[in-house]
Amino acid sequence: MGPLAIATGSDASRQSIDAYNVGDGGLNLSAASNAAWVVPAVGEAGNCALRPGVCIPISMNFSTAGLSKGLHTALVTISDPNAADAPQTVTVTVQVGGAVPDRMTFHVLPGGSEEQVIKASNQLGIIPTTDSGGSWLSVPADGGGSFRFNYNYRVVARHIEGYPEGEYSGQLNVLNSRIGEENKLVPVTLKVTGGPILTADAQVLLRLAEGGAAYSTTITPGNRGGGSLQISELHPAAEGGDWLSAEVVSDGKAILIKVQPAGLTAGTYQGTLEIVSNAANSPYSLPVLLDVMSAGMPTLDYATFTNTASTEPDPVVAPGMLVKVRGTQITALEETVSTEVPYPTVLAGSQVFVNGVESAVFHVAADQIWFQVPYEAEPGPALVQVMRDGQPGNFVEVTVVERAPHLEPASVSPYANARLDGGAVAMPAAAGGTPAKVGDTLTIYLIGLGRTDPTLPTGAAPVEPVAEIPVPAYVSFGANLFTEGLVVEASKPQVVPGAPGRYAVQVVVPEGVTTGDRVALSVTVAGYASDRLFLAIQ
């Protein structure tokens, strides 16, 4: 919810959201906030505001008059001890002092552009002007009708052909806002550079238990500029104690953020990580928000299932699939990874159950757990639960299907982990691989192919006898919107020795195949088609 733009010294107007029931029985909701300036209240059931049926309104009542100018974020948790997919968390953000920034800075490559958005709560008049470099600054009309919840103004800065790299100045004259602080002249700077331009998430949000173990997470800033981004220094700062630290890792490409919640009482804590690099926008300030929760049960987050082949949420899993789900207080210990096969059923004090069947666990941290879906899991809706040190957690729902094939990605996106004899990945040489040729044998790695013959215990991956899917696989080369591609029969999928949940098929690159650096690849097993990645064929 938000950001809600409000004047300094004022209370935001009450907002409301609807909750509704997609299961049996009734809901018995409660709502709690981790910040005193937003107080949620659960109302009486009635007609939904934005969908047919019956909903339960949850109002957000604000006491923001005492907040300082700037961005403030609270977490509202909506719970029901007897409902699946609960609790759920709503992030509530207010922008005290209005949505119009005091100044704006843009970084673009020669010939490029950048867009930033002012998310206002009322209609504004914005007049852009420039002092140098031509008419490089604009606020395009967004079109559309008159009905809206907010007003998003796109501010665009672009490099104009013929002007050299360097720094250009301009301004936005903002008029007619009902929030007086928004009516001002905003200085704008455009920096045109052929070098790196660092990008990162708007904020790092961490939720840890009071008295919990040390926690660490790695982030990899992006580069939307030219050249190679190199991080050289980090300067963390935090309120409420020395809980935030960081170090440069991966040869200057990534950042390891470390948090120590011990000694912190329940509440929210603001931090900042200043990133010094060779980027044009260095130093870059990354906000870090730490929510310290009262110690409680392990809690899985709604709709956060992913698998080892994708970072996108996917609510569909197959028996034997390697799956991750996010949450809070999943373990009271530091992050632990299993290095032995078969995978254990208990790791760092945590277990996972799918419809009451114990799973195998191979990676546990305070905010996530990786596990293998039991081979015994039957197709249909399933409830997933974590138990930590004997304390049961909540239930979240996932859908089990017979098979859900996913190609394993290579280390370079968007290529598949398809390997030639000798181990080279079938990628362009520029990406560190070796393109395949007609007649080469490819080994393609997948997950999500379901039950094997002979049936495997969950967490196991035998060397002998080989466990396989008792049907052939079919590999498609070169399919796109206009052609089905060339489909050839491959070997029966087999479980990779020593690697639970991973499968491999072998196929010979056929005559007549499409060539190039981005040839589409997919695999179909028993009528279930995988996603599509790419390989290089010359």
Give residues with Cβ within 8 angstroms of 403, minimum separation 6: 318, 448, 449, 450, 525, 526, 528
- Return the pLDDT at 102: 97
Q: Dihedral through CA 498, CA 500, CA 502, CA 506, nearest 10?
A: 40
Q: Does 416 share its domain with 532? A: yes
- Which of 40, 65, 96 terminates a domain? The answer is 96
Bridge partners (DSSP) of residue 123 are none
Residue 62 pLDDT more than 80? yes
SS3 content of the chain, % helix, strand, coil (to 5): 0, 50, 50
3-state secondary structure of 430: helix
Reduced to 3 states (helix: H, G, I; strand: E, B; else coil), residue 182 is: helix
Cis status of the peptide bond prior to 342, with omega within 30 of 0: yes
Classify residue 68 by its DSSP letter: P
- Residues 76 and 151 grouped into a single domain: no
Instruction: Report d(CA 59, CA 151) in Å as an integer.
Output: 22
| 388/310 same-domain check | yes
User: Exposure pattern of 248-266 as b/e (b: 16+ CB <10 Å)?
Assistant: beeeeeebebebbbeebee
DSSP state of 264: P
At 431, give phi and psi (nearest 5°). Answer: -95, 5
Average pLDDT on 310-319 reads: 93
Mean pLDDT (whole number) for 174-187: 97
Question: Which tens digits make up the pLDDT trace of 93-145?
Answer: 999 999 999 999 999 999 999 999 999 999 999 999 999 889 999 999 764 44
The one-letter amino acid at 314: D
Give the tokens for residue 264: 């912190």
The alpha carbon of residue 284 and the mean position of all alpha carbons in its chain are separated, in whole angstroms, by 21
Residues 507 and 410 in one domain: yes
pLDDT at 147: 43
> Residue 404, Cβ neighbours under 10 Å: how many?
23
Residue 320, phi-psi category: left (phi > 0), alpha (psi -120 to 50), beta (remainder): left
- Structural domain including 179 reads 104-192
Q: Omega into 454 within 30° of 0, i.e. cis?
A: yes
Could you tell me if 411 and 532 lie in one domain? yes
Distance of CA 201 to the CA centre of its chain: 10
| 219's tokens | 């982030």
Q: Are residues 460 and 484 in the same domain?
A: yes
Rounded-to-integer distance, Cα 286 and Cα 275, Å: 7
Are 426 and 532 contained in the same domain? yes
Backbone angles phi, psi at 180, to 5 degrees: -55, -35
- The confidence score (pLDDT) of residue 144 equals 44
13 and 82 in a single domain? The answer is yes
Are both 234 and 162 inside the same structural domain?
no
Q: Dihedrals φ, ψ of 294, to 5°?
A: -60, 140
Residue where a domain stops, chosen among 51, 72, 96: 96
Q: What is the domain-level CATH number for residue 528?
A: 2.60.40
Per-residue pLDDT at 142: 65
Query: Does 16 lie in the same domain as 114?
Result: no
Looking at the predicted structure, is the pLDDT value of residue 463 above 90? no
Give the pair of three-digit tokens for residue 469.
Answer: 């899917």
Q: What is the CATH number of the domain that holds 267?
A: 2.60.40.10
- In this predicted structure, the answer to whether residue 148 has a pLDDT above a threshold of 70 is no
The verdict on 223 and 338 lying in the same domain is no
> Looking at 401-493, which runs of residues are DSSP E strands?
406-407, 418-420, 441-447, 473-477, 486-489
pLDDT band, residue 483 (cuts 50/70/90): confident
How many Cα atoms sit within 13 Å of 267 on the Cβ side? 10
Angle at 358 between CA 353 and CA 364, to 5 degrees: 70
pLDDT > 70 fraction of the chain, expressed in percent and rounded: 98
Q: How far apart are CA 36 and CA 32, in angstroms?
A: 10
- At 153, the amino acid letter reads Y
Taking a C-beta distance cutoff of 8 angstroms, is the pair 335, 350 a contact? no
Q: Which amino acid is at 98?
A: G
- 150, pLDDT greater than 90: no
Report the mean per-residue pLDDT for the chain. Answer: 95
Q: Tell me the pLDDT tens digit for each residue of 392-402.
A: 999 999 999 99
The residues, ordered by sequence, that sit 6+ positions from 455 with a Cβ below 8 Å of its Cβ are 375, 467
Do 169 and 90 share a structural domain? no
Q: Which of 30-39, 167-176, 393-402, 477-486 is predicted with the least confidence, judged by mean pLDDT?
A: 477-486
The per-residue DSSP string of 202-265 comes to S-EEEEEETT---EEEEE--EE-SSS---EEEEEEEESSSS-EEEEEETTTTEEEEEE--TTPP
Give how many domains the chain has, as a whole number. 5
C-alpha–C-alpha distance, residues 107 and 188, integer Å: 11
Please compute the mean of the pLDDT values over residues 495-514 and round it to a whole number: 95
pLDDT at residue number 146: 44
Asked which of 293, 322, 353 is the last residue of a domain, the reply is 293
